[in-house]
């Protein structure tokens, strides 16, 4: 695994309040990484330390295996939770200004702005002031400003906040495109449905501390237990007596089975098929919301 971002033991306190407490995480290159947690968990503070907007009281931030430098920040597209555009600027001037802040020449910024405005259906508003646009249109401008300089890494803090379904769809398409290109995306959100669909690796944060981190698929397998869903017609009696089945919770035409630690699912299925007309036998992994509740509750 090649590491794009590593945060080592960062801490940030405001007086007696500790916002982030000895937090460490690793973001593999080319992955979509979800920084998750309830409101007030420390997600935004962590991202601000990653972007050098806030200085950590302790700990380090590394990019590509070395301490983060100013040149690294130019390779990152950052979408902050608090959206900020200059209302009196025209759309084009606003985007060119943001491009120049990321080290682009004015000429390059102008050349890239046109195609992007075409892509987000704002070409006819290029000379309009930002304050004349709807909130949804302003969100599009903010998004274009985040990616205009063609960053290697995207750091997105609550990117879906305030977006209507159409703009959410466009944003997801853009993330999928960047993912196919092998770019690294760090996505902070408290909307678990989005994280479950988009993220390969997650870090759950509560009260400023990491309570769960790892590849989402592996976490589901490990924390979900050896649990399977069985569907078969007729009465599902005697399931707990089948070798390899530790527990059985029977419902209407289906059952949730917890297998013994040393049980082999294929062997259990064979024995089930000897007694029942098995229509379905599949892993019953927990969803991200279940993992979240379990981890935060135990954290």
Per-residue pLDDT of 199-249, as tens digits, reads 999 999 999 999 999 999 888 877 776 888 999 998 898 999 999 999 898
What's the length of the chain?
A: 299
pLDDT value at residue 118: 96
Q: Tell me, what's the pLDDT at 168?
A: 85
202 within 8 A of 194, measured Cβ to Cβ = no
What CATH code would you report for 225-298? 3.30.70
Every domain of the chain and the residues it spans: 3-220, 225-298
> How far is Cα 86 from Cα 93, in angstroms, rounded to an integer?
10
Distance separating alpha carbons of residues 24 and 44, to the nearest angstrom: 15
Closest CA to 222 of 286, 265, 292, 297: 286
| pLDDT surpassing 80 at residue 132 | yes
% of the chain with per-residue pLDDT over 70: 99
Mean pLDDT of 47-55: 96
**pTM of the entire structure?**
0.81
Which stretch, 133-142, 169-178, 225-234, 265-274, has highest mean pLDDT? 265-274
Q: Between 3.20.20.10, 3.40.50.300, 3.50.50.60, 3.60.15.10, what CATH number should domain 3-220 receive? A: 3.40.50.300
pLDDT at 127: 97
Mean pLDDT for the stretch of residues 39-64 = 96
């Amino acid at each position: 695994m090649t590491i794009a971002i590593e945060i080592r033991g960062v801490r940030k306190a405001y007086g007696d309040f500790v916002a982030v407490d000895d937090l460490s995480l690793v973001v593999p290159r080319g992955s979509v990484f979800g920084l998750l947690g309830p409101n007030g968990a420390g997600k935004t503070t962590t991202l601000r330390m990653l972007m050098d907007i806030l200085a950590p009281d302790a700990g380090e931030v590394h990019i590509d295996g070395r301490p983060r430098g100013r040149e690294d920040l130019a390779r990152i597209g950052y979408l902050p939770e608090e959206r900020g555009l200059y209302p009196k600027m025209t759309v084009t001037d606003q985007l060119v200004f943001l491009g120049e802040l990321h080290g682009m020449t004015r000429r390059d910024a102008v050349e890239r702005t046109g195609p992007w405005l075409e892509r987000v259906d704002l070409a006819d508003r290029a000379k309009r002031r930002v304050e004349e646009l709807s909130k949804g249109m302003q969100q599009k401008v903010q998004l274009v400003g985040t990616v205009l300089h063609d960053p290697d890494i995207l750091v997105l803090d609550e990117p879906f906040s305030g977006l209507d379904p159409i703009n959410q769809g466009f944003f997801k398409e853009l993330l999928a495109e960047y993912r196919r290109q092998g770019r690294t995306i760090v996505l902070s959100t408290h909307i678990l449905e989005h994280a479950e669909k988009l993220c390969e690796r997650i870090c759950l944060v509560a009260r400023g501390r990491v309570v769960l981190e790892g590849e989402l698929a592996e976490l589901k397998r490990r924390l979900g237990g050896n649990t399977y869903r069985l569907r078969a017609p007729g009465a599902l009696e005697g399931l707990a007596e089948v070798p390899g089945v530790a527990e059985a919770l029977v419902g209407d035409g289906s059952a949730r089975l917890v297998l013994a630690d040393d049980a082999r699912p294929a062997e259990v299925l064979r024995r089930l098929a000897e007694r029942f007309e098995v229509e379905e036998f599949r892993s019953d992994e927990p969803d991200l919301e279940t993992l979240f509740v379990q981890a935060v509750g135990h954290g």
